[in-house]
């Protein structure tokens, strides 16, 4: 199954260049998570030019070069950073390394795009905020479950057009397939992956802030647990949280690693946005037992019940907008403060989480 | 639309008598909520015999007699209770009156079936517990969103057969259509309807305890709000809660009164039960934009993705089991302690609820 565990989730958007060849050049450093493929492809489709790649593991570099044969291999991170022709560096390093790498990238005068989650500690986040403030460079985070899902993108368009009135609540379900034998050792080490709410929870909070139009939120409750994987004592296979935004909207999300073997893709991700005049349900990666293809929007409003399949119709405007933000000094793709706030709130959910009692269910 | 607001939700199960005519006789007292029709029909289909009806409002009695012309009109609650031939009295009185009526019913030596929610205060619940303990009679509560929904009944069968492994979490979404002009005055008075988590939240907690096999739970967080109905200051149009059961399973539910006008039925009720080996999603009253008929079970397990439409195939075994429990002294339809525990936890959710800030979104 090509899309068995989401580890290499790299959907294709439309090819829609916003710049001419050579106007936006980028490199990739840190290939620990397969998200690097989707991040790279997204920038390429928007007209970016891939220059070089670095990772301490030659096998990861070889895999990357198979997919992107035009790339040059740098012999060190320093060499990659010294290339004055590039505008941006991408990284999908081990989660706890993404913050420190970003500091080096901005110090080298380049913009940065990190895989999510961007940080595992509040200290990393504060250092990033300070570096951005000092340099004026961008610290982007590829929250792929929104910016690389066409249903999620279209939902934003519908909501911003007022289709469901004012947003009251966002619910997100983010189940993922574990596929433990395919996962690296760091994936199960809490100091390195950051905990389930920091890791896959980060998508959820970003979506909440985006769909509700909130600037910030309080975490009202969160919990984590390891229900079924005692062989990985630092792993969390379940987490959830509820938040209250500064504009009164609320959020609930659940993330877990319990996608059953029989599901045709890596996770039956859903988002339900409740508004005063209607609601939207996204079936993001599959319409279970109905359609193996993803990107389904279900909209119910005053007019009726609507099924809007958008696969291949919307694209991923995020990447082109990000390139233009970097070149023009604008803040349209995903505002910098929003990017950091989502990261901050997932760290807060994780730090405050009640550990539910797995012992009682084993 | 026949089923516009759920106020008169009274689905038909199968006619499947468990007793002969006259073996189980019952009356109805308190017709304030249309659920009385479904409760009455459920017992009739299971072989019960409807004897008499009482309500202080002659118009409500007339409507009831139109639907059930065989019924005799009692001139007072006392007269109805003095009929020594009946085994049970049903009530869908105003929520805050259901407890006090039940005490009189048990004092008269009869079993009682209350519409949900059964109580609006902890004092009413304690009085009921004590009365049941003293008399040995049953105090049933018709939690219709499980016992009168074939998808919900079938989900219980699948879970108890081990189809999804051990239950980790139950999520319930209980949106309802308000249809304010059709609602009585008491519906907006908090002391009488009890608050949203007590009222429509009660279904959700009953389902959680049932599907997870838990005996009890702690409320970890709950909230209520009035986002869009300032003309009804005591009304709550939104509520949610998360619970942790004694067996380690957790629960999240949201209830609201925001069903959009364009939905083909009164609410797009969903239940998602996550297990260690699979999950079940129920689309209880509609499969939105797909099928106007309800009772859809979606099951994903190791074998694959399954859509199991069960409308008309399962029936409502609850009513027959309840009749036999009353006649035989068994406790099968819904254990008495489970019935009360669900009521207790919804009162706890309501009492502990954080009031979210509707002012900021109006």
For A178, list phi and psi in degrees, rounded to 5. Answer: -75, -55
Q: Residue A3 above 70 pLDDT?
A: no
Q: Shortest CA distance to B350 belongs to which of B207, B234, B199? A: B199
Measured between CB atoms, does A220 come within 8 Å of chain B?
A: yes
Q: Residue A1 above 60 pLDDT?
A: no
Number of H helices, E strands in chain B: 12, 15
Smallest CA–CA distance from B172 into chain A, residue: A171
| Distance in angstroms (rounded) separating the CA atoms of residues A264 and A252 | 26
Mean pLDDT over each residue of chain A, to the nearest integer: 95
Considering chain B, what percentage of its residues have pLDDT values greater than 90?
94
For A293, list phi and psi in degrees, rounded to 5. Answer: -85, 150
Residue B5 has a CB neighbour count (10 Å cut-off) of 21
List, for residues B78-94, the tens digit of each pLDDT value: 999 999 999 999 999 99
A59 to chain B, minimum CA–CA distance in Å?
33
Q: Which pLDDT band holds residue A6 (cuts at 50, 70, 90)?
A: low
Q: Which pLDDT band holds residue A13 (cuts at 50, 70, 90)?
A: confident
Contact A332, A321 (CB under 8 A): yes
**Interchain proximity A354–B307, CB inside 8 Å:** no
Q: Which residues on B lie below 8 Å from A303 (Cβ)?
A: 262
List, for residues A65-87, the tens digit of each pLDDT value: 999 999 999 999 999 999 999 99
Which residue has tokens 């659920």? B35
- Chain B segment 305-324 residues within 8 A of A by beta carbon are 305-307
Q: How far is CA A256 from CA A183, A229, A240, A349, B107, in A?
A: 15, 12, 9, 15, 50
Q: How far is CA B240 from CA A45, A173, A344, B8, in A?
A: 42, 16, 24, 24
pLDDT of residue B6: 67
Q: Is A161 exposed, middle or buried (0-12, 13-18, 19+ CB in 10 A)?
A: exposed
Strands A111-115 and A139-142: parallel
- Chain A segment 101-140 residues within 8 A of B by beta carbon are none
- Chain B segment 20-79 residues within 8 A of A by beta carbon are none
Q: What is the mean pLDDT of residues A192-221?
A: 97
Residues in chain B: 362
Measured between CB atoms, does A1 come within 8 Å of chain B?
A: no
Looking at per-residue confidence, does A355 or B10 come out higher? Answer: A355
Measured between CB atoms, does B253 come within 8 Å of chain A?
A: no
Q: Which residues on B lie below 8 Å from A228 (Cβ)?
A: 166, 168, 276
What DSSP string describes A264-302? SSS---EEEEEESS-EEEEE-S-BTTTBSS--EEEEEET
| Distance in angstroms (rounded) separating the CA atoms of residues B241 and B203 | 13
Q: Which pLDDT band holds residue A7 (cuts at 50, 70, 90)?
A: low
**Interchain proximity B238–A305, CB inside 8 Å:** no
| Distance in angstroms (rounded) separating the CA atoms of residues A48 and A319 | 9
Q: How far is CA A48 from CA A89, A229, A237, A264, B185, in A?
A: 12, 41, 37, 33, 63
pLDDT of residue A12: 74
**Interchain proximity B289–A307, CB inside 8 Å:** yes
| Distance in angstroms (rounded) separating the CA atoms of residues A147 and B331 | 53
Q: Shortest CA distance to B146 belongs to which of B14, B322, B271, B299? A: B271
Beta-carbon-side half-sphere exposure of residue A42 (alpha carbons within 13 Å): 30
Helical ranges in B241-290 per DSSP H = none
List, for residues A305-325, the tens digit of each pLDDT value: 999 999 999 999 999 999 999
Sheet holding A111-115, edge to edge: A72-73, A49-54, A25-29, A88-91, A111-115, A139-142
pLDDT of residue A2: 42
pLDDT of residue A357: 73
Q: Residue A169 above 80 pLDDT?
A: yes
E strands, B88-162, in order: 88-91, 111-115, 139-142
DSSP summary character for residue A249: -
Q: Is A93 in a helix, a strand, or coil?
A: coil
pLDDT of residue A361: 44
pLDDT of residue B239: 98
Q: Is A77 in a helix, a strand, or coil?
A: helix
Q: Is A145 in a helix, a strand, or coil?
A: helix
Residue from the list B242, B244, B278 with its beta carbon closest to the beta carbon of A242: B242
pLDDT of residue A78: 98
Q: Which residues on A lie below 8 Å from B258 (Cβ)?
A: 168, 274-276, 279
Q: What is the mean pLDDT of residues A161-186?
A: 96
pLDDT of residue B4: 65
| Distance in angstroms (rounded) separating the CA atoms of residues A240 and A221 | 8
| Distance in angstroms (rounded) separating the CA atoms of residues A79 and A84 | 10
Q: Is A278 exposed, middle or buried (0-12, 13-18, 19+ CB in 10 A)?
A: buried
Q: Residue A247 above 70 pLDDT?
A: yes
pLDDT of residue A4: 65
Say whether pTM exceeds 0.90.
Answer: yes
**Interchain proximity B242–A240, CB inside 8 Å:** yes
Contact B203, B149 (CB under 8 A): no
Q: What is the mean pLDDT of residues A342-354?
A: 98
**Interchain proximity B360–A240, CB inside 8 Å:** no
Smallest CA–CA distance from A167 into chain B, residue: B361
Low-confidence ranges of chain B (pLDDT < 70): 1-9, 358-362
Residue from the list A288, A298, A306 with its beta carbon closest to the beta carbon of B305: A288
| Distance in angstroms (rounded) separating the CA atoms of residues B167 and B161 | 12
Tokens of A80: 């990659």
Q: Which residues on B lie below 8 Å from A360 (Cβ)?
A: 246-248
């Amino acid at each position: 199954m090509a899309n068995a565990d989401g580890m290499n989730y790299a959907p294709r958007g439309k090819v829609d260049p916003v710049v001419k060849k050579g106007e936006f050049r980028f490199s990739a450093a840190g290939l620990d998570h397969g998200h690097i493929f989707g991040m790279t492809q997204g920038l390429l489709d928007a007209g970016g030019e891939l220059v070089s790649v670095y990772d301490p593991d030659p096998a990861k570099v070889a895999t990357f070069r198979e997919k992107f044969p035009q790339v040059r291999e740098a012999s060190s991170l320093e060499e990659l950073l010294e290339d004055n022709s590039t505008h941006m560096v991408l990284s999908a390093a081990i989660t706890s390394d993404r913050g420190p790498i970003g500091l080096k990238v901005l110090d080298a005068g380049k913009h940065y795009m990190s895989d999510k989650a961007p940080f595992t500690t509040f200290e990393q986040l504060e250092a990033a905020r300070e570096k951005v403030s000092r340099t004026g460079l961008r610290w982007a985070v590829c929250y792929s479950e929104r910016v690389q899902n066409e249903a999620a993108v279209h939902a934003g368009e519908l909501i911003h057009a007022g289709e469901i009135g004012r947003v009251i609540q966002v619910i997100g379900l983010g189940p993922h397939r574990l596929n433990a034998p395919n996962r690296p050792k760091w994936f199960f080490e809490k100091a390195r992956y950051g905990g389930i709410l920091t890791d896959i929870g980060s998508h959820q909070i970003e979506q909440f802030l985006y769909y509700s139009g909130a600037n910030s939120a309080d975490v009202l409750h969160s919990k984590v647990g390891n229900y079924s994987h005692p062989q990985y004592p630092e792993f969390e296979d379940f987490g959830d949280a509820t938040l209250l935004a500064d504009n009164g909207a609320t959020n609930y999300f659940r993330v877990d690693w319990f996608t059953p073997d029989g599901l045709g893709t890596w996770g039956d991700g859903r988002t339900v946005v409740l508004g005063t005049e209607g609601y939207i349900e996204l079936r993001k990666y599959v319409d279970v037992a109905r359609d193996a293809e993803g990107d389904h929007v279900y909209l119910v409003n005053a007019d009726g019940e609507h099924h809007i399949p958008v696969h291949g119709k919307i694209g991923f405007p995020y990447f082109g907008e990000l390139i233009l933000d970097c070149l023009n000094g604008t803040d349209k793709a995903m505002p910098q403060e929003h990017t950091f706030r989502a990261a901050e709130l997932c760290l807060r959910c994780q730090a405050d989480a009640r550990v539910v009692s797995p012992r009682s269910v084993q």
